[in-house]
């Protein structure tokens, strides 16, 4: 290589080195800043649950005049029930004091294991509980159904539309009595529908209903029957034919006060 070529190469290398020194910061790709942790927006607060409304709302009845209070409602209730079932039937079968409170308390208790007879709005059927047989054959006697027959006859003759109209008219009193019973957020008509469904679910037993006496009181020999609610046991005690008529009337009433299917 001639001295001239060497000189040219040296000059070119010097120029490149000079350019690299001065222009290197501007020819490099921009530095990538270190990744920052992603900050996510906090989740939106969960809205409070909506207030649970009645499942079976009733239309508000027009009140031509203010209703009495629950404590002062006995005269109006006596007239209303007498207008549905007849005055003689009311006097024979109903307890004329604290009617609204008794109706609400008894309906609320029927799906439970027991209910207080002293709070019932209806008088107890006359006569003693009729049984037949002993030991393994101990059962409810067919004659026991006769004790309930007069009550069922009155119920069977009731016009369901007329009964529900009276119930709707006095509904504010039933609702107030239900609140006073300890359900400030409850809706009595929902409880009524629940009770009707419980009664309609009572088993239909064919043949004698067997009993046992483990201590002092009679109990159902079938553990499934013994575990049933107080209302279902009542239907079992009154006999299959009476129970069928009661269920038929309950279905009529349910169709007029319930929004949901059974």
**HEC letters along 111-172:** CCCCCCHHHCCECCCCCCCCEECCHHHCEECHHHHHHCHHHHHHHHCCCHHHHHHHHHHCHH
Q: What is the pTM of this model?
A: 0.78
Owner of token pair 């209910």: 115
8 A C-beta contact, residue 144 and residue 232:
no
DSSP for 187-210 reads: -HHHHHHHHHHHHHT-----S--B
Q: Are 134 and 147 in contact (CB under 8 A)?
A: no
**Tens digit of pLDDT for each residue in 13-58?**
444 343 333 333 433 444 444 444 444 444 555 544 444 779 999 9
Domain ranges, ordered by start, for the chain: 74-257
Distance CA 131, CA 145 (A): 11
Position of tokens 């996510």? 40
Q: How confident is the model at residue 260 (pLDDT cuts 50, 70, 90)?
A: confident
Mean pLDDT along residues 203-231: 94
pLDDT one-digit tens code per residue, 80-97: 999 999 999 999 999 999
Question: What would you report as the CA-atom Rg of the chain, rounded to the nearest whole angstrom?
Answer: 40
- C-alpha span between 52 and 27 (Å, rounded): 69
* pLDDT higher than 80, residue 107: yes
**Largest Cα–Cα separation, the chain:** 144
């Amino acid at each position: 290589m001639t001295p001239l070529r060497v000189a040219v190469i040296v000059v070119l290398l010097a120029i490149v080195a000079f350019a690299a020194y001065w222009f290197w910061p501007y020819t490099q790709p921009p530095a990538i800043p270190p990744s920052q942790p992603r900050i996510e927006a906090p989740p939106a607060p969960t809205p409070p649950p909506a207030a649970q409304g009645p499942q079976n709302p009733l239309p508000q009845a027009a009140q031509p005049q203010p209703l009495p209070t629950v404590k002062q409602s006995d005269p109006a209730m006596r007239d209303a029930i007498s207008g549905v079932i007849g005055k003689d039937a009311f006097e024979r079968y109903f307890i004329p004091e604290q009617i609204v409170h008794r109706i609400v308390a008894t309906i609320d208790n029927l799906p439970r294991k027991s209910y207080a007879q002293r709070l019932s709005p209806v008088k107890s059927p006359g006569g003693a509980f009729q049984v037949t047989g002993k030991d393994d054959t101990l059962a409810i006697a067919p004659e026991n159904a006769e004790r309930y027959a007069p009550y069922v006859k009155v119920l069977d003759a009731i016009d369901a539309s007329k009964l529900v109209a009276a119930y709707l008219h006095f509904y504010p009193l039933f609702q107030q009595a239900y609140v006073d019973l300890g359900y400030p957020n409850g809706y009595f008509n929902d409880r009524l529908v629940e009770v009707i469904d419980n009664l309609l679910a009572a088993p239909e037993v064919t043949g004698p209903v067997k009993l046992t006496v483990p201590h002092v009181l009679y109990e159902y020999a079938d553990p499934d029957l013994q575990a049933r609610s107080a209302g279902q046991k009542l239907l079992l005690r009154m006999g299959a034919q009476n129970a069928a008529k009661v269920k038929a009337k309950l279905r009529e009433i349910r169709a007029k006060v319930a929004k949901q299917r059974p």
